[in-house]
Structure formats: structure tokens, C-alpha cells
Homo-oligomer: A and B are copies of this chain.
């Protein structure tokens, strides 16, 4: 084609867009994880910074065959527009998947109330768009999923973190947070929680606490948004039933196929009360019109024709071995004063550094030593978490995990030595070479309490 193409001019009044931006984006910045991505993904770096599943465990030839047949045989529908809620076929299969966790017809789960989303991220964003006005309070575990913080920031929510320990969300801390919000004359719109194999903390809300947390929320009239991407990936027996399996009302349930099948298709879902479901579809249509018909066909076919339950077992086995390797390496190599959680499933360990170490400040030296993690600050809305880091074990091989922990321990030892040198102090128990020694582990970790100042 030929076109009239005048020489480009530079605009006079439009060079700077800053004063045109909406309020919601003024505070939005790239996440800590994205800033790391370019460096951490260099081949020489052992990255425990990601959250990617180990896709080499998938039967890619069979998946390829399946995808090819969908294009050739179902192309007229699979490559066409679809409806905003997602196909009935996939929503029925999603109900099959949820039944495995005890979310079944008896507790009111129905394909009618499922909304298919672009991964778990859009699921969460739709819920936030539906409920959150600027300035609204959202309660969330401290630490919490970095992508949830991005959503809440975009919604201009005020995030109040609630402390966890090794048994997950602390009921007393939740009660206290609700009371503090009420005292401040506000109402929290919902509690956002990842009760099972939490990201980033790797802890699970205990069976006993699940009822208590639900009772507290029910009494306070507080909606629960349960994010459950990991519960199928349990290593040591089944995970406790999701909160949604215990309550028909008051819980909006989110999940995804990104961890049990493949994230590259971007298929997640929401199970919501009927009235809420209807609104979520309208919000989703304004956002993306409809989810990919092809990706939906792919997941539907995968769940219909392929051994998906066995594939989940394969992922479990792979990740269990890697978790074991990571925990053993940490026990062998971490300097004294370091503690970490012991996940019974999922993808992450949360480590607490010896007094005085700063995981964020240490990152450049860690990258120079060819090892990457995510500093804890990424998982708090308020900039705290510097003495923590998230370590992923799903993607790197056991050999790389061992090597990564070795490098990380070296960096930490150096930091401790440097601190001791510059402070002139005689040092605490971590000043010498701590390598190879087993140390007492703390099972819990500190999280800031509610702050509404």
C-alpha cells in the first residue's frame, strides 16, 4: 500500500502525558519481581525468584497433538468470539475439578456460578473492580501475593495486613484488624486470603483455624475472597478443604489452571454467589469482551481426554523432591539466625534473615554471585519485609537448588562479616562462618499489625 505520509512532527502540547494520568496510576510502579526479571532470567543465574511451574513434566507431544486437533477440527468455534462468562463445557469441567477439593453441588457449586478468567490475576482484578472504591480497606495476609498488591493498588485500596504464623492467618490478629478498621470509622470490603500453601509464606491455615476465621468474618459481615491456586499441589497428604467448601455464602473462590496444567493459556476462574457472578461477567466483558475460546477448548479437552489427575501427581512428586532439597540445603548451609517455613505443598519457602540483614539491599550482591530471590518488601503494601525473602523451588532442578542455596549462603556470610567489620561490634552468633551448621529454626515470622494512621 502507498499512503500519504507527511514528515512526522513532534507534538507541541502532548509531549508530556503525566498531568493527564488518572489518579489510580500515579502510585503504580513495576513490581519488585518485574524489576528482577531481566537479570534473574540470565542463564548463569540460579533463580529462585520466579513462580513458574516445571513444564518439562508435561507430555508436550500429546498436548501438541491435542492443540492441533482443536484448531483443525473445532476451529470454527475455538478461533471465534465466545461469551463473556466462558463456555458451559469448561465451566462444567471446572466444577469437576473443584469437587476434588470438596467444593461440590452439595455446597452450592454450579457451572452457572463460574466465570472463566484470564488466569488467576484477572479473577482477582475483577473482584477488586466489583467491590473496591478508592480508599476502601482490604484485609490481606502479611505477606501476601505480589500480584494482589498490584490489583489493590490499581483499585486505590488501603491494604491492612494481618499477621500469620506457621498455622496461617492468626485469628486474634484478624479480630484486632477488624476492630481497628471499625474504630477508624471504616469498613473493610473483604478479606483476601490464600489459606493453603500461601504465596509467599508457604504456610497453610490449619483445619481448626478455618472455622474460626470463617466465624469471625461471618460475625463481622466481612466477605472472604479465597485465592486457591496451589491446594492440589500437596505433598504430605491432602490439604484441608477450602473455605468455600465450608460455607455456601460469604466466600468468593478463585483458582487457576496455571499451576496444575499450564500458565501460558491464561485460564483461571471465579466461583461466586449468583448475583455477584452476574456483575463479574459484565465487568469482565468491559475488560476483555470474552476469554479466549481456544484456550478454553484447550483446557476442556485436556480435562476430558488427558490424564490430568495423574499429571497433578507428577507435579506433586517433582515439587516434593525439590522442596525436600531446598529445606535440607537451607538447614545445611544457612548462617545462624536464619529461619524459614516448611511448606506442605505449593511452590514457595519464606525465609527470615538474621538480625540486621536486608534482603533488598543484598540483591545486587546476590545477583553478582549468580543467585536470585524476591526480597520480602515485594509482598507488603507498606514497604516492610526487608528481612525476608521468598524462595521458589518449583522451577530450578534439585542440583540448581543446592547450588543456589550455596551461593546465597556465601553472600549472606559476607554480609554478616561486612556488618561486623563496619559496626566494629564483636558480632552476634552469626559473625563467623556459619556454613554447614544446623541451627534452630523459627517456625513463625513477624508481620506488621494493622496500621490505619
Contact = CB atoms under 8 A, between A and B. Distances in A.
Given A70-B67, A75-B64, A287-B121, A25 B106 contact: no
Interface stretch (A258-266, A350-358, A367-375, A443-451): A258-266
A289 to B, nearest CB: 4
B262 A1 contact: no
Contacts of A5: 102, 106-107, 241, 245-246
A11 B292 contact: no
B68 A3 contact: no
Interface residues of A, number: 121
A380 interface: no
A128 to B, nearest CB: 8
Count the copies.
2
Interface string A53-87: 10110101101111111111101111111111000
B34 A1 contact: no
A125 interface: yes
B131 A282 contact: no
A63 B70 CA distance: 10
A426 interface: no
A3 B102 contact: yes
Contact of A286 (B6, B22, B151, B218): B151
Given A28-B283, A101-B1, A189-B20, A266 B246 contact: no
A184 interface: no
Interface in A12-52: 12-18, 20-25, 28-31, 34, 37, 50-52
A262 B74 CA distance: 13
B64 A69 contact: yes
Interface string A331-360: 000000000000000000000000000000
A248 interface: yes
Given A17-B275, A55-B76, 7 more contacts: A21-B279, A25-B129, A25-B283, A30-B282, A58-B79, A60-B76, A79-B263
7 contacts: A8-B248, A21-B130, A52-B81, A81-B258, A119-B289, A122-B288, A266-B291
Interface of A: 1-6, 8-18, 20-25, 28-31, 34, 37, 50-53, 55-56, 58, 60-61, 63-73, 75-84, 100-102, 106-108, 118-119, 121-122, 125, 129-133, 136, 147, 150-151, 153-155, 189, 207, 218, 221, 223, 238, 240-241, 245-250, 258, 262-266, 273, 275-276, 279, 281-283, 285-295, 298
